[in-house]
Structures are given as structure tokens and as C-alpha cells.
Amino acid sequence: MLFRTKKTVDIDTSALPRHIGIIMDGNGRWAKKRGLPRSAGHKAGAEALKKIITEANNLGVEYITVYAFSTENWKRPKEEVDYLMGLLMDYLINAEKTLAGENVVIRAIGSRKELSEEMQRQIIKTEEFTKNNTGIVMNIALNYGGREEILHAVKDISRAVKAGEISADDINERNISDALYTGGQPDVDLLIRTSGEMRLSNFMLWQVSYAEMWFTDKLWPDFKPADLRKAIYDFQNRGRRFGGV
Ligand code: FPP
């Protein structure tokens, strides 16, 4: 089926990227341009995100992972960290009501033990509340780092080897993928980064191996559903060869 968009790019809904990853960058610059505190940029970023999730879900995308807070983001001023954590908390609480109504499955990926107990409880609650939904799976990368994720997987697999559950020779790409926070989900097909930066920043290092990368100069709060459709359209018009010819 062809999905005609307002800007007349035709998305083929039978050939969607199954998994989209987004590095939502530029909230701070968006706020600065307007003479506002960085927190205002994050707030606008959270609003932009809601619309993108709704759009991706309506199009029929199966998985979306958004980089909300990296393991490195703790280095930011305490005031900004506290604000971001508050926003994430609100998002998880509201997601229970609004996104659940839209049939979204919400999951948090990343290391949880450094998060507040309140946040850890809310994550479990939101995940539980939305787990039987049948729409898009939204992974919120929260205290997430790609290397930390791989390290975590290696430790889990090493324990299984030590316990004699598997032998070292049985370790393969499949069981490494399964041991990641995204275990059971497909790799990322399309990786989007906003704000003109062209770095991976420790995001889904294993899962983006064959992802198409799509960059825009737009700052995250300015990223609209039409931009998502354009990224998908461009994805559909690239030739993916997975190392073949
Ligand atoms: C990068 O912009 C953005 C972040 C570090 C946080 C992303 C968070 C949100 C979009 C809002 C909250 C998310 C959820 C899931 C509710 P930056 O601050 O590095 O911007 P800059 O590079 O312009 O300074």
C-alpha cells in the first residue's frame, strides 16, 4: 500500500524499516536560539517525540528506540540531569495513559540500578501496563550506553558458560543479540540523528551494524512527522546489500 504524505512522498507501507533508532539531538541549541533555558529545549523535545511515536505507530513501524539519556549524560549539571529525569518520569506516567491508549508497548533499555528507586518502580509499572499492547514497541534508552550493553551481555553469557549451560564454542551472533537489552528484537534498519551531528555516540553499537543512517540539520524539537516520513522515504530508495552485491 502506498501512503501518500502531505509533502507528496509516497511511503510503501509494505517495505517499512522494522526498527528505527533515533538520536534526538539539539534540544539545548533549540532553547539557546530562543533565549530559553536548556530545560525548555528538553520539554519541547519530549513533545516532539510524542508526535513521532504516534506517526511511526500509525504507519506500522514495529520497533522504535529513542536515546533519552546516555550513561555519559550524568556529567551534565545536576539541575539539567534532575530536569531530564523529571521529564522522563512524567513521560513514563503519561505514557501509561496516553501511549497505552494508542496501543504502544513501552520498554526501558539501559542499566537501571543507577536510577532512583522511584524511577525503577515506574519503569516496571509502565512496562507491565503496556506489555500486552499490539502496536509499536518503543524502547526508551535510559542510562543507556552501547558498550555497557555489550559488557552486560558478555557477563551474562560468561555466567552461562561457567554454569555449564552452554560451551564457549556455542557462543554466536544470535545468542549475543539475545543477551542485549533489545533481545528478541530485530536489528536497527534506519538510524536517524538530528542537529547536524554525524556521530554514533555509543548508541546501539551492535544493533546498527547494517543500519542505513539518515541525518538532518533540524534540531530535535523541530523534527516533525513529515521529517520521519522523509527519512523512511529515503530509506526505501536506497539499495541495501548487507555486504553482498
Ligand atoms: C540531546 O540534546 C538530547 C538529550 C540528551 C535528551 C533527549 C531527551 C528528550 C528528547 C526529552 C525527553 C525524552 C523523553 C523520552 C521524555 P542536547 O541537550 O545534547 O542538545 P545540544 O547538543 O543542542 O546541547
Q: What is the pLDDT of residue 172?
A: 97
Kindly report, residue by residue over 88-97, the tens digit of the pLDDT.
Answer: 999 999 887 7
Mean per-residue pLDDT, 117-135 = 95
Mean pLDDT of the chain: 94
Q: Which of 24, 38, 43, 202 to mutate for ligand 1's pocket (most ligand atoms within 8 Å of CB)? A: 24
Give the alpha-carbon dihedral of 208, 138, 17, 50, to 10 degrees.
-120
- Element containing residue 146 per DSSP (H, E): helix 146-162
Instruction: Tell me: pLDDT of 3 over 80.
Output: no
Give distance in angstroms: CA of 93 to centre of ligand 1.
19
Within 10 angstroms of residue 149's Cβ, the number of other Cβ atoms is 25
Mean per-residue pLDDT, 43-66 = 97
Distance from first CA to last CA of the chain, Å, rounded? 28
CA separation for the pair 56, 51 (Å, rounded): 9
Pocket of ligand 1 (CB under 6 A): 24-29, 42, 45-46, 49, 66, 68, 73, 87-88, 91, 140, 220
Top pLDDT among 5 and 245 is at: 245
DSSP letter, residue 237: T
Residues with a catalytic annotation lie at 25, 73
Contact 129, 83 (CB under 8 A): no
Given the DSSP bridges, would you call strands 2-4 and 10-12 parallel, antiparallel or unpaired?
antiparallel
Supply the residue whose CA is at minimum distance from atom 3 of ligand 1: 25
Kindly report, residue by residue over 76-88, the tens digit of the pLDDT.
Answer: 999 999 999 999 9
Contact 194, 220 (CB under 8 A): yes
